[in-house]
Amino acid sequence: MGDDKPSFYGCACSYNLRMTGMIEMKQTIWIAFFAAAFGAAFGVFIAQDRAVSRVSAQQTKENSAGDQAGTSVASTLKLDPTEQSQYTAEELVNFNVYDSTNRGVVHITTRSARTSAFLLFETPTEGAGSGSVLDKDGHILTNNHVVRGAREIYVRLYNGEEYPAGVVGSDELNDLAVLRIEAPDDFLHPIAFGDSAALRVGQKIHAIGNPFGLERTYTVGIVSSLNRQLPTADRRTMKSIVQIDAAINPGNSGGPLLNNQGEMVGVNVAIASKVGESSGVGFAIPANTARRVVPQLIENGRVIRPDIGITRVYKTEDGLLIATVAPEGPADRAGLKGFKLVKTRTQRGPFIYEQTRVDQSQADLIVAIDGQAVNNVDQFMTIIESGKPGDEVVVTVIRDNQREDVKVVLGGE
């Protein structure tokens, strides 16, 4: 009977060995798990530490660059270390821009007369604006609308000295004018032109002018947008206008828009506002336009633009229909055709009646200039005025229901 009792030792011994192996395996797994977890946590810590180090290094580099810029400007401003520590690098740049340019900004006042529509007498009127000294010869740059129609113009310099001014030249299309005063060289501090083509949206800019007669008021902002368009009084469009958010008001017109180097990158011209005061939307004529126009205004008193000799057109859905051309002008010599005046006579009894009617059937319809489609007068004039007198342009017209290219040599206005 004893031999028939089952033995559990062998089984028990075998079970205990398996249990021991399993325990050791679990311990090994737990050790591996904790090691992996620790390694991962340590790796994340190291990565974060490196990222923080990179950010800190970048911030340190930027701060260092800003400090260097501030130090450079401070040396220009001749500030000692104690004074420099009181201001930020940005403030030091502002100080430098204003100190280096404000003496080149002038206050322009005008006197004119307005005729009453009902009473036959004139009422004196006054206007005001801003301007920039261009050179030691006394040339002043401003907006044309500041001095348009003025009988008397006076320019007051930074030192309070006031001089009568004459208009050297003006450009209605770009709303620019150049004045001239007779003033000592020591009183004239020209502002250099910068490159307006290098402007970027978000770039810091500075404006100096005389809003509401408050002389040489300084405001700061950024370039809000580029290549805006502004309508002109003669239904043309000023292009490539710079939009800014620096506060400008009535009286700022004609004043300089400056970059951080104190260079003139624009001429302040207008604001968009329902109340006539700054609403954070201002506009400036790009300096590159002024740089191109000013030499012609000084030399010729006006901008000599190319002339195609087409004096009147009508806008249609398909293009511009030529109404009239200047006799013996470039278009006339090239064979472009406008409306015809047709005279007819009708006899009724003993009386003969003469009538004149306009025949549009032979007029050319302009659809393109040098391969560029034109749909309105502004597009047409923009393409023509991009050339110069003596240039040849190809005018594409519809004539007798056929497309035809006509070469025209531009004249000069």
Task: Say if residue 117's pLDDT is above 70.
Answer: no
DSSP bridge partners of 286: 266
Q: In the structure, what pLDDT confidence band is assigned to residue 379 with cuts at 50, 70 and 90? A: confident
* CA dihedral of 392, 169, 207, 136, whole degrees rounded to 10: 110
Q: Which stretch of 53-57, 148-152, 191-195, 375-379 has the lowest confidence by average pLDDT?
A: 53-57
Give tens-digit pLDDT for 128-159: 999 999 999 999 999 999 999 999 999 999 99
Does 74 score more than 70 pLDDT?
Answer: no
Q: Per mean pLDDT, which range of 32-36, 112-116, 233-237, 407-411 is the poorest? A: 32-36
Confidence band for 71, pLDDT divided at 50, 70 and 90: low
Reading the block at residue 409, the tokens are 């040599």
Supply the pLDDT for residue 54. Answer: 46
Residue tagged 């821009």 (tokens): 97
Q: Are strands 402-409 and 264-271 parallel, antiparallel or unpaired?
A: unpaired
Percent of the chain residues topping a pLDDT of 90 = 56
pLDDT band at 3 (very low <50, low <70, confident <90, very high): very low
8-12, 214-218, 408-412: least confidently modelled range:
8-12
Residue pair 255/98 in contact by the 8 Å Cβ criterion: no
pLDDT at residue 84, rounded to an integer: 74
- Residues noted as catalytic: 145, 175, 253
**CA–CA distances in Å: residue 400 to residues 151, 309, 360:** 53, 22, 12
pLDDT for 328 equals 92
Report, as an integer, the average pLDDT of 16-43: 44
In this prediction, residue 82 carries a pLDDT of 74
Could you give phi then psi for residue 156, rounded to 5 degrees?
-105, 125
- 75: confidence class by pLDDT, cuts 50, 70, 90: low
Task: List the Cα angle 252/135/218 in 5-degree steps.
Answer: 30
Look at residue 49 and give its three-state secondary structure. Answer: helix
pTM attached to this predicted model: 0.69
Residue pLDDT, tens place only, 168-184: 999 998 999 999 999 99
Angle at alpha carbon of residue 376, lines to 369 and 317, rounded to 5°? 100
What DSSP assignment string belongs to 270-290? EE--SSSS--S-EEEEEHHHH
In whole angstroms, give the CA distance from residue 289 to residue 176.
9
What residues have CB less than 8 Å from 70, skipping those under 6 apart?
84, 87, 88, 89, 92, 93
In angstroms, how far is CA 209 from the centroid of its own chain?
Answer: 18
pLDDT over 70 (residue 291): yes
Give pLDDT, residue 350.
79
| CA dist., res. 192 & res. 374, Å (int) | 37
Average confidence (pLDDT) over 383-409: 93
* pLDDT classification of 273: cutoffs 50, 70, 90: low
- The first and second tokens of residue 407, run together, are 């070469």
Q: What is the mean predicted confidence (pLDDT) over 111-125?
A: 68
Sheet strands (E) in 160-236 = 162-164, 166-171, 176-180, 204-209, 217-231
List of domains in the chain: 103-303 (2.40.10.120), 306-412 (2.30.42.10)
Angle, to 10 degrees, between the axis of helix 89-101 and the axis of helix 9-77?
20
